[in-house]
Structure 1
Amino acid sequence: MALQNFTPDQAIPKIKQYCAYQERCHAEVKDKLYSFGLHRKEVDEIIAHLIGENYLNEERFAIHYAGGKFRIKHWGKNKIKQALKQKQVSDYCIKKALKEIHDADYIKTFKKLVEQKMKTLTSEKNIFIKKKKLQNFLLMKGYENDLVRVEVGKIGKRV
């Protein structure tokens, strides 16, 4: 992306629009401001201004992000946590966001994923391969080891 040169006064309306379009984390907004050719001091001042006017709120971003990834992509808490860490979201906000995912919904979604995956594994005759495929799928989705282990352990009893 070509570097654009904006003054802080030119950058503020653009970055407000960028933040208003969808929830953003601090790192995304900083990167965008640096792409405008602004210096660190100016970026820090604009970030403070955005936080003050509630355009930027890391906790709100984390809650929206976690909820969306869980509802739409059916990600587990481990994967959501890793993604938020990559976005440089604070541990406090990550914990708060994960608490917003209700346990009943989490288990219901997990069970639904297990059911769907088991339907795709009906032709697999080797029970060990079937277990391994289910385990890998659930771990890749970001579900916890204990939860996965219990569910995979039920396979031999289903057949």
Structure 2
Amino acid sequence: MKKKQPLTIKEAKLKAADYCAYQERTQQQVRDKLFDLGLHCDEVEDILADLITEGFINEERFAIHYAGGKFRMKKWGKVKISHHLKALKISDYCINRALAEIDDEDYQITLHQLLEKKKSSITGENQYIIGKKIATFLIQKGYEPNLVWTLIRDL
């Protein structure tokens, strides 16, 4: 069996650019991909710098797309989105920018919709147990506990 020839820097940069063009990526995801391709640390960092300069990698843009998608599709709250972005090694600045892009009115509407949906699925319990189950559900979805409890008290 023949041993694979290592990629040249140019080939690796093209592969990484294609990887980034397919969908938004974090610097760490691209770094991991380049290491998987067999490149060394200095080469990886040089390619990363080029990709950032050329606009293939932009963590702020990634964070905004990620936060918007998770909010719209999975109905996640800001707390859960923030934790997941931190796990992806996104800076606090980018996380704050991404969360600021979520419309406050849409956020409140989604929170109310989730509350109503959960409330309708709980039957035959007393009001305190219903409130606790709703709060647990919404907090696990990543909504701020103070918002959740205020909303439940207003019921």
TM-score (norm 2): 0.92
Measured in 1, the distance between the counterparts of 2:32 and 2:140 equals: 29
The equivalent of 1:81 in structure 2 is 82
The equivalent of 1:64 in structure 2 is 65
Letter in 2 for 1:98: L
The equivalent of 1:150 in structure 2 is 150
Measured in 2, the distance between the counterparts of 1:25 and 1:51 equals: 10
**Aligned pairs for 1:7-22 within 5 A:** 7-22=8-23
| Runs of 4+ with >6 A deviation | none
Measured in 2, the distance between the counterparts of 1:125 and 1:108 equals: 26
The equivalent of 1:38 in structure 2 is 39
**Aligned pairs for 1:90-109 within 5 A:** 90-109=91-110
Letter in 1 for 2:148: V
**Aligned pairs for 1:108-127 within 5 A:** 108-121=109-122, 123-127=123-127
TM-score (norm 1): 0.90
Measured in 1, the distance between the counterparts of 2:7 and 2:150 equals: 56
Deviation at 1:7, TM superposition (A): 2.7
Measured in 2, the distance between the counterparts of 1:26 and 1:129 equals: 45
The equivalent of 1:138 in structure 2 is 138
Letter in 2 for 1:124: G
Count of matched residue pairs: 151
Alpha-carbon distance change, 129 to 51 in structure 1, aligned in 2, over 3 angstroms = same
Letter in 2 for 1:97: A
CA deviations on 1:67-114 (whole Å, 9 max, x unpaired) are: 111111111000010010000000000011111011111101111111
Alpha-carbon distance change, 54 to 149 in structure 1, aligned in 2, over 3 angstroms = same
